[in-house]
Structures are given as C-alpha cells and as structure tokens.
Structure 1
Amino acid sequence: MIRLFKVKEKQREIAENSNGMPPTKKQSPGELRLNKDISELNLPKTCSIKFPNGKDDLMNFEVTVKPDEGYYLGGKFTFTFQIATIYPHEAPKVKCRERVYHPNIDLDGNVCLNILREDWKPVLNINTVIYGLYHLFTEPNHEDPLNSEAAAVLRDNPQQFGTNVKRAMGGGHIGQTAFSRCM
C-alpha cells in the first residue's frame, strides 16, 4: 500500500511539472549548444539550411551553398551535417552530396577544411563552418588538397581549371570521372 502511494505521488509530481504535457526527452549538452548555434545563425545570402528529418532531429541537417562569384558561380552544392552528442568538443561531420570537381572535396564528398579537422575548437560554431564551406567555393585552395589532380590543374593552369569546373558542374566528365549536374 505504501509503495502504491509513492508511485501515485510521483505520477502527480510529473503531471504538475509538465503542465499537462507529456514529459520531454532531456537534451544532451551537444543538443543544447547546437540549438543555440542554430538560433544565432547569420548565413550568407547564398546559403540555406534545411532539416529533412524535421525540427526534432537537429543533429542531422543539410546546408546548401550557391556561390555568387568565382569558378563555381551558378552552382548549387548540398552538404550533410552530422553532429555528435559531444558537440562542440567534436567537429561536425560534413559531406558534399554532389560529386564535384574541387581540390578540397574528394569524389566521395569528404571535405578538406582545417576547422573541421586539426583547427577545430569548441568556441567555433555551425555558422563558422558554413562560412568556411562558402569560402572553399569562392577561393579553392590547391595547397591542402583532397583531390590532388584538381589541385594540380588549379595551380598550373587556372584557365583549364575553370573549364573543367564548368564541364563538371554541367554533369560532364573529366577524364573517366562523371560528375553530378549542379547548375
């Protein structure tokens, strides 16, 4: 009988604390920080964010970058973000969905951006990463490549690099490699 009383008392306490709403799942510190980062986003006008799984899954989202200058002008590139529960102590996992001819993005969509690797610090945020991705398209870096072939062409023949980028963005081939149409 005493045990039953304690159970009912606990149920009443939960009901009072939830204001008639079902109890909510407790957020991890990473989810709380990500919530803050997203609420404070100040995206460039050429970038947008989308939550394909709805607002209940903030830890997985997509960012679209549409460069308005440089070699990739007119392109549209989508990146998937996976955020660990220990964020911001671990950098987001970011991948490009399109196959793109870029010195800093390999053919599997892996991104070479120093703030996603050795230069990541917990003071950085999602906004910083998005600006970094945008910067990769306005100023590709041949000195730290994931796609060494594209980097060599950018370094040695920037005009040919521009031609290759346009062909690849149109869904063409560079050598034996087919690229995603992203214009």
Structure 2
Amino acid sequence: MAVRIAKELEEVRGWEGARDVRPLDRNVRRWEGLLLPNTPPYNVGAFRFELTFSPRHPLEPPRATLRTPIYHPGVDPEGRVCQPLTTHEHWAPTTRAIQVLQDLLLLLDSHDPQRVLRPDLARELQEHPEEFRRRAQEHTRLHAEPRPDPPDP
C-alpha cells in the first residue's frame, strides 16, 4: 500500500493544479501541498491542503482538509470539505489521490449548490452574488498564500 501511495504522490507532483506536494512529517500517509484555483475570487492565492490516508487505503477513502481559511460554501471553518467522492458510499478503491485533489479543485473553482457545509454563505452567494464575491476576494487576499511561480519547462 505504501508503494501505491508513493506512486500516487509522484503523479500528483506532476499535476499543474497543485504545487509543493510532499509527505507531512515524513509520513507517506499524510500529504500537504498548495492547491491553485483557476477562477475568481480564489485564483489570486494558493490554498494549503492536507490529504490523510487511512491505514486501510485504498479500501477506505482519504480525507482532504483545507488548512488555509477560505470563504466558501463547500468548506467549513475547520477546513472540512463537502466531497461526496470521499464518502464510504461513493468511494471506489480504484480512485486515485489525484482524482480526489482534482475534485477538490473543481469545488473551489465552481460553487455546487449540492455541496454545501455553510448554508449562510450559500444563501449569500445565491441572494447577493456581488457581495459574496467581494467578501471572498477580500478573505482570499488576507488568508491565502502567494501563488508559487510556475515550474520550469
């Protein structure tokens, strides 16, 4: 299982949606890195994530957590993410870590009304979209990490 996770780590390191992905505390079952959203208001920053693999992986899904605070209806204040892909009922052992991170990036790039952990922000987005975008942009400016330079070709 550690061999599979190590291979998946190399796959993720080659993906353009994340940077600086590495084991946390030298533990191959815990990764950290930066997600790079593509769309406003989040695309002006980078968001630190943690991906934790169960000892029973791939039979059990990993858990993705955002460590950078974000003003988003699908992410709660503790960084837990509304990610059906990683629930026991939707998880498939053939799902790879890169798919989990791609799904997380998709959530950040497009608000899905079916994936809500903060109803207050979902309501604000629906009823006052300009105000939501303004607040999310300011929150990103205050909390997100600077975007790293693109990798050399």
Q: Same fold (TM over 0.5)?
A: yes
Structure number with higher relative contact order (C-alpha < 8 Å, ≥ 6 residues apart): 2
Tell me which residue corresponds to 1:52: 24
Change (3 A) 1:122 1:53: same
User: How do 1:125-164 residues align onto structure 2 when only pairs under 5 Å count?
Assistant: 125-164=96-135
Residues 109 and 139 (structure 1), Cα distance of their counterparts in 2 relative to 1, 3 Å cut: same
Structure 2 residues not aligned, in runs of 5+: 147-153
Report the 3-state secondary structure (helix = DSSP H, G, I; strand = E; otherwise coil) of the residue aligned with 1:59.
strand
Quick check: 1:141–1:151 contact (8 Å CA) kept in 2?
Answer: no
Residue ranges of structure 1 left out of the alignment (5+ in a row) = 1-29, 172-179
| Identical aligned residues as a percent | 22
Equivalent positions of 1:1-183 (< 5 A) are 30-41=1-12, 43-48=14-19, 49-54=21-26, 57-117=27-87, 118-171=89-142, 180-182=143-145
In structure 1, give the amino acid aligned to 2:129. P
CA deviation string 1:135-169 (max 9, x = no partner): 11110223320111111112222222111101211
Which has the greater radius of gyration? 1
Deviation at 1:182, TM superposition (A): 4.1
TM-score normalized with structure 1 length: 0.71
- Aligned alpha-carbon RMSD (Å): 1.9
Aligned residues: 144
Q: Deviations over 1:65-86 (max 9, x none)?
A: 1213232111211111111121
Runs of 4+ in 1 over 3 A off after TM superposition: 39-44, 180-183
